[in-house]
Amino acid sequence: MWIHGKPVHPLSTLPLLVMDIVFCMAVCNNAEYDINGQCCPMCDSGNRVYKHCDDSTSTTCVSCTEMRYTDVPNGLTECLPCFVCDASNGLRVKQVCNWTSDAVCEPLPGYYCLDSHGLHCSKARKFSNCLPAQYINQTGTEFRDTVCGDCPAGSYSDGTLCKLYTKCESLGKITVKSGTDTADAVCRDGKHWYILPLIFSVCGVFVAVVSVTVVIIVKKKRVYHQTNQVTHPHNPVNLNHFPAHN
């Protein structure tokens, strides 16, 4: 093992290393990093170390390549990979990644964040659907799932809204089937359901009888007239009866 370019027995290194760390943390300032006991100037965010400094030259930095970033001054020899906002994790890009900042993801529409660090979301899940006999008490948000509530007694739902059962009796009808969690009551027309059709039928029959009677009377009259005309024609025109002017 080598420290500061000199060979050291492994067993004697522990206290030395501790001292070294303390020493270096004390010596390297905020804009420097420690590499092998030497303090080198950091690279700016958006860059990384290409070559560590030595006694004669400062740190050599290069900028990060595509899909990699460093968001703070650093002594890294590789930029960090950008987070991928993957639709299979229920995510989409809120802020694209560039050299100096990581991507920021947000839940897809209709999804909420399962795992968030500040504004960063790393996994999202689809909003739950409320079950039949439940209603949506609170719609989901970016950070919270849908909140469902149970429908109160006397109502039913398809999972969105509770609707009260139809009260057949108050409509003058009869309950054929009472309501369930998911379906309304079924009504049938009540005791006097036949009255209206009966009135219509009676009216219909009356109209028919009257019509038929009228038709028969008119026809009979016509036949009578025609026979009358043949035997006793009205206004007979007989020129022979005109008095002659002499």
Ligand X SMILES: *[C@@H]1O[C@H](CO)[C@@H](O)[C@H](O)[C@H]1NC(C)=O
Beta-carbon contacts of residue 86 (< 8 Å; ≥ 6 apart):
none
Instruction: Please identify, using beta-carbon distances, which residue of 135 and 168 lies nearer to ligand X.
Output: 135
Which residue lies nearest ligand X, judged by its C-beta?
A: 149
Query: Cα–Cα distance between 235 and 209 in angstroms, integer?
Result: 38
Cross-strand partners of 192 = none
Contact call for residue 100 and ligand X (CB under 6 A): yes
Alpha-carbon torsion 187, 190, 194, 200, what sign?
negative
Instruction: Please identify, using beta-carbon distances, which residue of 94 and 163 lies nearer to ligand X.
Output: 94
Instruction: Please identify, using beta-carbon distances, which residue of 148 and 185 lies nearer to ligand X.
Output: 148
Contact call for residue 147 and ligand X (CB under 6 A): yes
Query: Cα–Cα distance between 141 and 111 in angstroms, integer?
Result: 8
Query: Cα–Cα distance between 94 and 91 in angstroms, integer?
Result: 9
Q: How far is the CB of 59 from ligand X (least distance, A)?
A: 21
Instruction: Please identify, using beta-carbon distances, which residue of 28 and 156 lies nearer to ligand X.
Output: 156
Of residues 70 through 99, those in contact with ligand X by CB under 6 A are 95, 98-99
Contact call for residue 63 and ligand X (CB under 6 A): no
Among 45, 101, 122, 166, binds ligand X (CB under 6 A): 101
Q: Record the tokens describing residue 101, joined without a space.
A: 């900042």
Q: How far is the CB of 178 from ligand X (least distance, A)?
A: 24
HSE, side-chain direction, 13 A CA sphere, residue 126? 5
Summarize as ranges the residues that interact with ligand X (CB under 6 A).
95, 98-101, 137-138, 147, 149
